[in-house]
Structure formats: C-alpha cells, structure tokens
Amino acid sequence: MGKIKVTDNCNGIAGLKVIEPTVFGDARGYFMETYNYNDFKEAGIDCEFVQDNQSASKKGVLRGLHFQINYPQDKLVRVVNGEVFDVAVDLREDSETFGKWFGVTLSAENKKQFFIPKGFAHGFIVLSDYAEFCYKVTDFYHPNDEGGLLWKDPEIGVEWPMPEGMTEADLTLSDKDKVWSGISEYVKNRK
C-alpha cells in the first residue's frame, strides 16, 4: 500500500475510515492519487463506484443528514476547495454503535478523504467562505428514496462547529433539512 494512510473505526465506529493520501510536492505544485482501486482494496474498501458528484456551497451552508432508504450508498468524500466539517451517523440496525456519530474536518489543504459505508446518514457544514465538495458513490441517486435525520437532533448530539462569525441562526439549510425528524422517529418508522 504505502500511498495512503488509513485510520479505521473512527470514534469506535466500525467501517468509517479517514484516508490521507501521499502528496508529492515540488516548486511546480503537487501530485497525489485521489483514488487507486488496489490501495483502497488493501485498506478494506472494495467497492465499485458508479457515480462522481460535486457540489459548491458558501460559508454556513449545512447539508444533511442524508441517506438513501432502499438504495444505500457507500461514499468516498473529499474537499477540493475550502473547508468543511463532515459527519456520519451510524444507522445500521445490528450495530453496537447505532446512533453514534463521527466528524472530521476535510479541506483542500489537508487533502483528507472520508469513507462512509452503507447504513450511515451523512452531512457537512461549510466552514470556509466557499467550498467545493466531491464524492464517489456506489449506487445512483434515486430522488424518491431520500431519507434524512434532523441535523440538530439532541439524541444524536452532533457537535457542529459554527463557521467563524456565525451562529446557528445564520446557517443556510434546505427546506427538507430544516424539518427532518430525529432518530427516535426514524426508529419508530422503520419497525
């Protein structure tokens, strides 16, 4: 392997992985592999990614916490411009860490990537003035299959950092993200 450093079981949650690539830099700039099937397979990420997505958001945008219900996706996410705080919440029914969350700062500067397997809700908040977020997924987007959890559900307790100079009231969320229910409602509805 050698080209990537992988941190497993983030916050004790099996399956989550933070990946740090080897960056080769000189006076011209830098080069790094953002994905190499062999290295990722050796690190326990043996997936077939079928779609790449990219979004751009301004400071204070919070997207999440999202998942697909019947067509779950593994995700490999990274930031190519700016900085975000990225979060995954464990929704795997048989998991000892069900309802636990983990967050990591991803930025163009630190070049970290975050692997989130199927069975997790996912979201991020933009900390920089502007951010471009890229992610590879293992299933296609199905618009009628969207699920979500309320980003500030006290039962989950995600500790979202506020962008400098902003408060919770200044955040920008989609209409859907403002009204998702919490994890207790999610558990009740899946029975």
Query: Known catalytic residues?
Result: 66, 135
Q: Residue type at 61?
A: V
What sign does the CA torsion over 117, 123, 126, 132 have?
A: positive
* Coil vs helix vs strand at 187: helix
Question: Which residues, including other chains, have CB under 8 Å from residue 7's CB and lie 6 or more apart?
Answer: 17, 18, 19, 20
* Coil vs helix vs strand at 118: coil
What is the rounded distance in angstroms from the CA atom of residue 164 to the CA atom of residue 156?
24
Residue found under tokens 């400098």: 164
Q: Which residues are bridge partners to 115 per DSSP?
A: 17, 76
The answer to whether 14 touches 34, Cβ cutoff 8 Å, is: no
Tokens of 111: 């070049």
Q: Residue type at 128?
A: S
What is the greatest pairwise CA distance in the chain? 58
